[in-house]
Amino acid sequence: MRNLFRLFYFAILGLSVARQGSNFNLTAEFATANGCDDKCLETLNKANAADLDTFGRDFDFEWFLTASNFSGSSPGDLLKLQPLDPKTPGLLVKPGTTVYRIQYTSQDLDNSSVPATGFIVLPFAPVQLKKSTKNDSSAAGLFPLVAYAHGTSGVYTGCAPSNGPALYDYDSAAPFQVKDIVHSVTAARKAMGQIFTNEWMAVGHSEGGGAVWKLAESGFVKADKAYLGTVSLAAAVKIADMLGNHINFILQSGYLTLVAKVLQRFSPSYNFTMLGDIQRQRMAIADSAQPCLAAQGTISVGLSRDQIIIEKGLATDLNLLKRWQAEMAPASGGRTSAPMLVVQGLNDTAVVPQVTHESWQQACSDSNEVHLSEYAALDHSPVVIGAAAEWLAWIDARFNGEKTPGKCTQVQRLPFDGSNLIAPPGKPPE
């Protein structure tokens, strides 16, 4: 079961008796045998607790079982639909919303059908938008449809955002994720299409920001007149460029082992060439503990640079990384059919702001309409809230039929009072 979710915002996509599905505690003996000393294990256990708070201490295995009607289904088919009980213990969803979990059919890299999960979140009631002759978004009682691609949650089953008590990354990179987005929209329309506008948009953060950028360039929306535009927030765009040109940044972020694990999923024969001996040994810790995002970032704790990464191995791996990037990354010569807003915090500790800027420049040189807003002082997750007034208004404007300039723009946003700005870091704990 793919653990990527899709969420439909203004009309945006999740709990029963269950058991833990991720972030398992390890014995000291197993940890020691795999290069994880007492400090490593203590830090991992603390991060495991944080992950379980986010992704759920009880994993609903029954819900995530592949639906009996999956066989013979087509991409975009709705397999399961379940309202989220507002009386669910520990639920952290914002008041005034209504939530439904869905399971639907998507596609993998080789276009084979796979089951995927997500959730639909509805606000209290639809808001009447301005009357427009361009589209039907102003139709009374309809929710403007926005597909939301979540940020990185982890590579293991129990890290599914649709299981978490707060619907991970609801208010807060790859073609297969693009397919998840598209097919989730189709499934949502099959579930309750009568309440959504024909027009739709896509918003994504981090990994999801890269995915919606790639979606904007894809054939899925190129001829879709109902697709109004894209918002990409703190996008993880070009991983090879970040690793090749900003390796110190990546090491500090704590994401290196996650990148290595994703590379192995992309190319199963990959054997962590760029990792140092102890770090490579510790990858067994990840496979046994099955950590989500925060805990994944802790398995390098206490290691020196040379123990974490081998420069010669990285040079070898860059060929695979560049091939992965060529297949997965946006802003690589693709063309968009609708305008896009890219929002980037300049104090980001998870993705390299310079790479986002360079990707914007590349997209503009390819004759795309991309608007870049850079926010001083804001980190990876805080930029979602800090820039919300801009990107939410930008979405409203598209559904209201307001025109865009038709060319690229760039602006740097500065805080009113920078010395007193509340701008917490967004990186996972170390």
Q: In three state form, how does the secondary structure of 140-202 look? A: CCCEEEEEEECCCCCCCHHHCHHHCCCCCCCCCCCHHHHHHHHHHHHHHHHHHHHHEEEEEEE
- pTM higher than 0.95: no
Least confident of 167-171, 285-289, 408-412, 423-427: 167-171
Specify the domain boundaries for CATH 3.40.50.1820 within the chain: 6-17+59-235+339-420
For domain 6-17+59-235+339-420, the CATH class is: alpha beta
Structure tokens at 62: 């029954």
Average pLDDT value for the chain: 86
> Are the beta carbons of 160 and 61 closer than 8 angstroms?
no
| Per-residue model confidence (pLDDT) at position 1 | 47
Structure tokens at 29: 């003996």
pLDDT band, very low/low/confident/very high, at 4 (cuts 50, 70, 90): very low
Beta bridge partners of 105: 115
Query: pLDDT tens digits, residue range 66-77?
Result: 999 999 999 999
Structure tokens at 145: 């449809």
What separation in angstroms does the CA of 405 have from each of 271, 322, 364, 417? 48, 34, 13, 30
pLDDT above 90 (res 78): yes
Query: In percent, how much of the chain has pLDDT > 70?
Result: 88
Query: pLDDT tens digits, residue range 206-261?
Result: 989 999 999 999 999 999 999 999 999 999 999 999 999 999 999 998 889 988 98
Query: pLDDT tens digits, residue range 303-317?
Result: 999 999 999 999 999
| Per-residue model confidence (pLDDT) at position 385 | 94
Q: Are strands 340-345 and 113-122 parallel, antiparallel or unpaired?
A: unpaired
Query: pLDDT tens digits, residue range 271-300?
Result: 999 999 999 999 999 999 998 888 898 999
